[in-house]
Each structure stands twice: as C-alpha cells, then as structure tokens.
Structure 1
C-alpha cells in the first residue's frame, strides 16, 4: 500500500499535492521515500516566498526571485527597485504560483536524481 504523501510531506498544498501524486504514481516505496528525502531538501514553502516578497519591499528588492532560482529576474528587480515596486506587488499577489512553479521544477529534478540512483 502506498504511503500517504500528505503524511510524508505535511506542508504540501492542493495543487502541489496533486502534482506530486501524479509525478510519483509509478514509483516503488523505496524510490518514493528517496524522492521525498531529496525533494524535501529542495522545496520551498509558500510562506517563505511570501516573506521574501515582503522583505523585497523593505530590504532587498528581488530577494523572492533569488529564492526561486530566477537570478536574472532577481538582478533586474534589485537594480530597478522591484521594477518600480510594481513587480514586487505582483509577486506578492502571485507568491503561491511562484512557489508552485519552483517546487514543480525541483520535483522533476528530484525524480530524475532518484531514477539516476538506480
């Protein structure tokens, strides 16, 4: 019987939970546990990204973009004041989508890493 992903990664939210369930559907229990170990180390929680957005208003514009490995956009935000604050506002509103896109990418990388382990 497959373990419940929500019990293994309690911070999973709706869309991400469905994505991870679909991504890991064919994995054995051992590979699933390996995947979860790798993925937990890479994923970001939505509240971390939201905190990065808020810090972008106060300290360093673009920190949220650096957190999700979008270094080019992070530099653009840094040098333009968060694209004159408008980009930071948009990122604050869309922080869950930023987080989901990053976590999806990290899930795919983690799955590839688990498959390459043999």
Structure 2
C-alpha cells in the first residue's frame, strides 16, 4: 500500500486498493512509470458527476463519451438520457462507472509497463 500512497496519493477507496494490488510486485522504477502513465489516463469521479449533471440542463450523455462509451453516449444524446431516468441513475452510479473505466486503464497501463520495463533480476539471484 505504501507504493500507491507514494506515487498516487490522489487515489481513494476501492481504486486505491485495486491499484495497490497491481503495483505491489513492481520495482520502484516500474511503479513510477505506471503512476505517470495511469495518472494521465484515469478519470476523476467528480468530473464524471459534473458531466452527468450537464444532462439535466444541456447535453445528456457527455459523461458516457468521456468514459469511452460511444454507443451509450449516443443513446443518451438522442433520448435525452433515456428521458432523464438514465441520467438520474448515473448520478448514483458515477463512482462505479468511473471505477470500471479506471480499472481497465490501470490494467492496460500495468501491461504496458511490464512489457516495456521487464523486471530486473536482483544480483543475489545469480
């Protein structure tokens, strides 16, 4: 858990626990590279909530586009957020939507880091 607090102090709750498990076995260099890559790709739950609230006054579905869910974004856009019912539901689900997106991005970032920076064998392993 200390690596995640050191490199990604802005994470909270389930996301923090999830990322801590992912970087537990990484070296310091790998963890730093992961943190930089993940920080650039993750989405903030408050941003998702604010974008969702736009659906009540302006354009429904903006938050779905931002999360890479183009199909759902179009559906929300053309149906007024399922006549605002979907928009209301997403006001309560924004953290889950964000966590799912961020979990996928964390796995993607971990895969990239492990492929580009394979862990080095320590000198005592020889």
Bin the TM-score by the shorter chain.
over 0.9
Residue correspondence of structure 1 range 86-101 to structure 2 within 5 A: 86-101=85-100
Aligned to 1:36: 35
* 1:53 Cα deviation after fit: 0.7
Structure 1 residue runs without a partner (length 5+): none
Cα distance in 2 for partners of 1:73, 1:112 equals 27
Superposed structure 1 runs of 4+ greater than 6 Å apart: none
Cα distance in 1 for partners of 2:7, 2:95 equals 21
1:48 aligns with 2:55: no
Aligned to 2:10: 11
Cα distance in 2 for partners of 1:15, 1:8 equals 16
* 1:8 Cα deviation after fit: 2.3
Q: Which has the larger radius of gyration?
A: 2
> Closer, same or farther in 2 for the Cα pair 1:78/1:90, shift >3 Å?
same
Aligned to 1:25: 24
Q: Is the 8 A contact 2:59 2:77 kept in 1?
A: yes
> TM-score, normalised to structure 2's length?
0.87
* 1:59 Cα deviation after fit: 1.4
* 1:3 Cα deviation after fit: 4.8
Let me know the Cα RMSD of the aligned residues.
1.3
Structure 2 residue runs without a partner (length 5+): 118-126
Cα distance in 2 for partners of 1:108, 1:43 equals 11
Cα distance in 2 for partners of 1:104, 1:84 equals 29
Aligned to 2:79: 80
Structure 2 counterpart SS, 1:110: helix
> TM-score, normalised to structure 1's length?
0.93
Aligned residues: 117
